[in-house]
Amino acid sequence: MELSSTAREECIVTFRTRSIAEIRAIFDEVRKDISPAIGARKPQRPIDQVYKFADIGKAFEHTEANNHLGKIVVTL
């Protein structure tokens, strides 16, 4: 299941409405995507946005907007 970056950002996945076969297919695709990084012991976590501690309010706003794909980091 190949998605463009725009489609990925707009895609919401829930397993409640999926069949067992669909869930297995999704997990198979995830395994293909992450297996090389796991095998090389170099997994990377996607970082969506980095904020300074002084801008923590903006970080919370970004979190609450629920439009991020990856981690929201606050630096000290």
Q: State phi, psi for 47 to the nearest 5 degrees.
A: -105, 120
Rounded to an integer, what distance in angstroms lies between the CA atom of residue 32 and that of residue 27? 9
Phi first, then psi: what are they for 64, rounded to 5°? -65, -25
What is the pLDDT, as a whole number, of residue 50? 95
pLDDT recorded at residue 13: 61
Beta bridge partners of 52: 75
pLDDT of the chain, 76 residues: tens digit per residue: 454 544 445 566 677 888 999 999 988 988 888 888 788 877 777 889 999 999 999 999 998 988 888 889 999 9
